[in-house]
A and B are shown apart, each in its own frame.
Chain A
Amino acid sequence: MLQHLAPITRFEKVADNVYTLEFESPDIARLVEPGQFLNIKPGTSFDPLLRRAYSVHRVRGSRLEIIFNVVGRGSAIFAGRRPGDLLDVLGPLGVPFHLDGDYSSAVLVSGGVGIAPMPILGEALAARGVRVVNIHGARTAAMLIDDGRLIDPVFATDDGSRGTHGTVVDALAGFVTDHPGEPFRVFACGPNRMLEALGAFCSTHGIALEVSLECQMACGIGICQGCPVEMADGPRKYTLVCTHGPNYDFDDIVLSSLPSVH
């Protein structure tokens, strides 16, 4: 892991209350793998005190990009930063998605800003010759994040205003029906409710599911012990989302032990 000041190169609004920040960070860009995150200081003051953890959305050359919505004081500060500003970045952190295995297709399921790790994940899978499909859902069309960074996206809206009329689980069910017998894995990131529903569906259908968890963090590097998730089957009761996660086989964790972040 490294810590350094990264100059912001781009700031973009990609949806209502959803923003991307791109910054120059060649050493971290070289190291980062899909599903890893960065812990970034909102400002130079002691208040807000803690860094904020964001998945890496995309890597372009020596530049990293994060995507976020404004939900509190830290994210509000990030939404005010502009190209030329310096970001104090610590990373890459966490264990990446576990990509090894015998599968020819992958379905990347995201809800809201759970879209965060999907572009970098999709690229890595495609580079391994895996066929990638994205399913991205929201309550209504206006809340979808269509920032052009997803491979082969299928959208789902609860109100049917765009794409599949239903949840991402409904869209995944559709995919299963259309591709019978094809071995594929699911990678997912989004609200805990979405992950629970997805977990139940994948369990029923014997589909491997890896989820990327969002969790309130302080240090992000395993020294404070502040970010536990309960494990379903030992060997220890908890593991730390920042160092053992954030990416877990859904069956290994007790998702209900994790409070929602907002």
Chain B
Amino acid sequence: MADTSQTIRSATFKNPVLTASGTFGYGLECPDLVDVAQLGAVVTKSISRKPRDGNPPQRIAETTAGMLNSIGLANVGVDVFLAEKLPALAERGATTIVNIAASSIEEYCYVLERCEEHEGFSGYEINVSCPNVKDGGLNFGTNCASVADITRELRRRTERFLAIKLTPNVTSIGEFARACEDEGADAVSCVNTFVGMAIDARTRRPKIATITGGYSGPAIKPIALAKVYEAARAVKIPVIGIGGIVTAEDAIEFLIAGASLVQVGTALFVEPEAGLTIARGIEQYLDANGMRSITELIGSLDTSLQPSLVAAGWS
């Protein structure tokens, strides 16, 4: 049996499959279907200082092989999360990564420092990249200096695993990944949703209330994969690959491209057990290919047949 586990600072992931923030609630909603203890980790819904109601309906719309969402970071707030959700997750034996969203550096620091007072989780993923919230026009994820500032301030405040979740809606994700690495992030999660839109041609209205929203699902896999490849080549720290993963083979593509871990999101809405299925499939692939450890797969993309292209700068 191949070894699929990895340890990054305070976090030990028994397999490389994590559930993506915002796609699995607080990991507590479907205990009959999913034993969360078997996942590499659960990344919680984004937690903010105060509870957030979220956006008005319509929050979701199906598109071809995908969907749009504009949930609006609806969450119970850090107080209720720490008092109720986190202990329940710990009791289920989950490896938990707490995702934090905020609209100012002070707020990120506040929420992290509140969490630091608690046990029962392995680290943090910082959401700097939600396209569905307009809080005074702040959108850190597309401003490299802001992302660097946030990383630096949070790095100072915790010894735990710290990942920064990046938005793909930028020209050069490699640049953002490097900024996070320079400021001491343990990993970068690539990518959050793309900005997308859908219109009802009969009514001439947008299909979701906020007009545009986050686009996810199988349709985005090729563009997410390209971003992951770019980020993985820009930094030495681990990249967590996200975007349209539905099957084990999808996940394996991301690992080959350079991701060390992956997250599964939208697929869970259709198959709540997808995370477990994918983890098993990765293990089977490693065994079938004579690989003893997942590290043999990570970043193993073979571009040797494209030497002239590589020479021309395509790699």
Contacts and interface: CB of A to CB of B under 8 A. Distances in A.
A243 B74 CA distance: 15
B33 A219 contact: no
B59 A49 contact: no
A224 B270 CA distance: 11
Interface string B51-80: 101101111111011110101001000000
A224 B60 contact: yes
B24 interface: yes
A243 B25 CA distance: 12
A46 B57 contact: no
B269 A219 contact: yes
Contact of A225 (B61, B71, B246, B270): B71
B270 A221 contact: no
Interface stretch (A61-69, A103-111, A155-163, A228-236): A228-236
Interface string B166-180: 000000000000000
Contacts of A90: 272
Contacts of B217: 46, 49
A259 B246 contact: no
A216 interface: yes
A184 interface: no
Nearest to B273: A3
A30 interface: no
Contact of B32 (A1, A51, A223): A1
Interface in A212-262: 215-219, 221-230, 236-238, 243, 257-259
A218 B67 CA distance: 9
A48 interface: yes
Given A225-B74, A226-B69, A50 B53 contact: no
B218 interface: yes
Given A1-B33, A221-B29, A50 B62 contact: yes
Given A1-B30, A223-B25, A50 B269 contact: yes
Interface residues of A, number: 33
Contacts of B61: 216
Contacts of A50: 62, 67, 269-270
B205 to A, nearest CB: 9
A221 B65 contact: no
A46 B63 CA distance: 11
A225 B246 CA distance: 20
Given A221-B30, A238-B74, A228 B57 contact: yes
B23 interface: yes
A200 interface: no
Contacts of B62: 48-50, 218
A46 B246 contact: yes
Interface in B185-216: none
Task: Indicate the member of B51, B74, B218 with the most A CB atoms within 10 Å.
Answer: B74
A224 B23 contact: yes
Interface string B245-270: 01000000000000000000010111
> Which range contains the number of B residues in contact with the other chain?
35 or more
A41 interface: yes
Given A1-B33, A238-B74, A259 B67 contact: no
A227 B59 contact: yes
A178 interface: no
A226 B218 contact: no
A47 interface: yes
A2 interface: yes
Given A49-B65, A257-B56, A41 B270 contact: yes
A228 B30 CA distance: 19
A235 to B, nearest CB: 10
Contacts of A216: 58, 60-61
Contact of A224 (B32, B53, B58, B69): B69
A3 B66 contact: no
B65 A223 contact: no
A3 B57 CA distance: 27
B59 A226 contact: yes
A257 B53 CA distance: 14
Nearest to A258: B57
A253 to B, nearest CB: 12
Given A46-B217, A228-B54, 8 more contacts: A1-B33, A2-B32, A3-B272, A41-B270, A46-B65, A49-B217, A49-B270, A216-B61
Interface of B: 22-25, 29-30, 32-33, 45, 51, 53-54, 56-62, 64-67, 69, 71, 74, 217-218, 246, 266, 268-273
6 closest cross-chain pairs (CB), A and B: A226-B60, A237-B53, A219-B269, A223-B25, A47-B65, A218-B269
Interface of A: 1-3, 41, 46-51, 90, 215-219, 221-230, 236-238, 243, 257-259
20 contacts: A1-B30, A2-B32, A3-B33, A3-B271, A47-B64, A49-B270, A51-B269, A51-B270, A215-B57, A217-B60, A219-B272, A224-B60, A225-B54, A225-B59, A226-B69, A228-B54, A230-B56, A243-B29, A257-B56, A259-B58
